[in-house]
Amino acid sequence: MISIRKIFYGPAQGWVVYMFLTCLLAACQENHVKKIRIATAANMAYTMEELIIDYAAKSGLEFELVVGSSGKLTAQILEGAPYDIFVAANMKYPEAVFDGGKALGSPKVYANGQLVLWSMSENITVSIDELSNSQIEYIALANPKTAPYGVAAMEVMQHYGLYEFLGPKLVYGESIGQTDQFIFSKAAQIGFTALSSVLSPEMRGKGRWVLIDPSIYANISQGVVLVDRKGDNNPKAQGFYDFLFSKEAKEVLKEFGYLVNE
């Protein structure tokens, strides 16, 4: 049996989730090893929870998951945060970890993300054209300074020549997680988020969304890297890292709307 506990932190601290998965099997207690600490981009929060549950059930290992924006997690790792694996929303940030001497090897792409436009407001037509409607006061997106999905949203608005016009309407989440909160609570009438968010068990079937043409924004090639903890590395982390590229993990990723190499 696996127990899950989540702690949510508000916007002042950034949208962060600590999730502890504890194996309660007697065998796990007898062969106790320290938790595998995973830092993951907010768009991967629900997907990573599913992947961890699957892997923990068969391995008997314990995990601690920290969720936030890729940029903020990168800064934490470069400052010495004791994570074992960094699962990012693009390649830029894990490459920065590698270049900063904090990785055990070069980062690899585990999946490609997709961007959607999502609304919980019943009187809103969900489309790019609708963004300039006077009924829409606020449009949510992740902060492009720290969140790759925010960069993609900016590219979409610039592609359609809407960015300058829409500027006063834009509200920025610290991560995709906080952006989802803005949209779900209707603090913003519409917003850009990850396909994985609207396909998650918590959000599936809620509101209306449309997939954005991926040809009008740069590929969201999401990368993962093993973090070098300078002598305090968890030897079990390699197993979960390898699992991310397995057929089983790819099936989970596809269920959440990610594109994977077969």
Alpha-carbon gap, residue 259 to 221, rounded angstroms: 9
Instruction: Return the pLDDT at 3.
Output: 37
Torsion of CA 251, 256, 257, 262, to 10 degrees: -20
Tens of pLDDT, residue by residue, the chain (262 residues): 343 333 233 333 333 444 444 433 333 443 456 899 999 999 999 999 999 999 999 999 999 999 999 999 999 999 999 999 999 999 999 999 999 999 999 999 999 999 999 999 999 999 999 999 998 999 999 999 999 999 999 999 999 999 999 999 999 999 999 999 999 999 999 999 999 999 999 999 999 999 999 999 999 999 999 999 998 999 999 999 999 999 999 999 999 999 998 7
Strand partners of residue 3: 22
Q: How far apart are CA 227 and CA 232, in angstroms?
A: 10
Confidence at residue 33, expressed as pLDDT on a 0 to 100 scale: 63
Distance CA 50, CA 260 (A): 17
Collapsing DSSP to helix, strand or coil, 73 comes out as: helix
Tokens of 218: 């740069």
CATH 3.40.640.10 for domain 114-216 = no
Are both 2-112+219-255 and 114-216 of the same fold?
A: yes
Helices (H) and strands (E) in the chain, counts: 10, 12
Distance separating alpha carbons of residues 146 and 141, to the nearest angstrom: 12
Per-domain boundaries in the chain: 2-112+219-255, 114-216
Beta-bridge partner residues of 67: 17, 40
Pick the CATH number of 2-112+219-255 from 3.40.50.10950, 3.40.50.2300, 3.40.190.10, 1.10.3720.10: 3.40.190.10
